[in-house]
Amino acid sequence: MEPSTGSREKREAMDLKNCKVLVTGAGGFIGSHLCEALLERGAQVRALAKYNSRQSHGMLEQLHPDAKKNIEIILGDVRDPFDVRRAVQGCGVVFHLAALIGIPFSYHAPKSYIDTNVSGTLNVLQACLDEGVQRVVHTSTSEVYGTAVYTPMDEDHRLQGQSPYSASKIGADKIAESYHAAFGLPVVIIRPFNCFGPRQSARAFIPAMICQIISDQNVRSGSLEPIRDYTYVKDTVEGFLACATKEGIEGMTINVGSGQDISMGDLLNLLMKMMNAQKQVVRDVERLRPEKSEVMKLVCDNSRAASLLGWQPKWSLYEGLEHAISYVRSNMHLYKPELYGV
């Protein structure tokens, strides 16, 4: 996406202090970290977590009590336009993170991904347009690129829907793009590469491997050949904040990734070395993607983020893994390493 006409020269930062902001998907891994960072910036945070009868706020439950009490937490569902309108009202900035994200489950329930990721995004965008929101930060994913045609992968890399999940995110991105082009909605699309860190669920590779290394005799994994670009969650969150505050980037898509690649096999070996453990690795066919759906290589070109946002990663992979390992060790009660859930 290209920026609004005449906007390239404007680089002033918007101020989030005392700004009313909405975070959809706030109960998730990245969303909970983003809420913390917004509080530190002095924002008035409204957090939309998915409705459930248990009154659970997801990962927001793990925030320090002093932080959580300063967040307006509401339960709702982005699939309902009336619910979304209620959440958006009165907000100047909206961070849209709510999505179904597990790739394996998208093979079983593809319509759920369309309903949440595509229709849900449409509901958010329309509510933001109707309510006159000043900036919308829509969350994409590096999975929309599919297997790399070239590396590093810039924002002009072709999009390939190699799973129902990635296809749904391509659809969501294109709807966001259309709302800027057709209606002038001030939306910025942030495209994170593989994010990791504390609070991440075991559906992701790093926490899944860590908890197995801790608790199991063997480590069960899918394919270890794919290459990924991992970014620590605090760096990813800084990318979100920059996308919300930099002027002159409306209508743009911006990659946020480390630019450093590592194979899943090398990453697993690094984790075992850091944890002083040597486990037998067993190939688990349940964890394999269909052959044509596997994304073999994702490596970020983050030059646009550097030039337009002044963003660059501050945390090394090793430093981030230290925090991820420490978190899982202290929270094994949250994980079920004996089970594989899609």
Look-up of token digits 């259309």: 178
User: Would you say residue 1 has pLDDT above 60?
Assistant: no
Q: List, for residues 192-218, the tens digit of each pLDDT value.
A: 999 999 999 988 999 999 999 999 889
**Cα–Cα distance, 72 to 22 (Å, whole number):** 9
Q: List, for residues 70-125, the tens digit of each pLDDT value.
A: 999 999 999 999 999 999 999 999 999 999 998 999 999 999 999 999 999 999 99
Q: What is the pLDDT of residue 83?
A: 97
Name the superfamily (CATH) of residues 20-193+233-259+299-314.
NAD(P)-binding Rossmann-like Domain (3.40.50.720)
Rg, the chain, Cα only: 19
**Cα–Cα distance, 325 to 279 (Å, whole number):** 16
Read off the pTM: 0.94
More confident residue, 6 or 122: 122
Using DSSP's 3-state secondary structure scheme, residue 218 falls into strand
Q: List, for residues 269-295, the tens digit of each pLDDT value.
A: 999 999 999 999 999 888 888 989 999
Structure-token pair, residue 238 = 């800084």
Confidence of residue 301 (pLDDT cuts 50, 70, 90): very high
**Cα–Cα distance, 77 to 48 (Å, whole number):** 8
What's 72's DSSP letter? E
Lowest-pLDDT range of 129-138, 249-258, 330-339: 330-339
Q: What is the pLDDT of residue 342?
A: 72
User: Would you say residue 297 has pLDDT above 80?
Assistant: yes
Confidence of residue 13 (pLDDT cuts 50, 70, 90): low
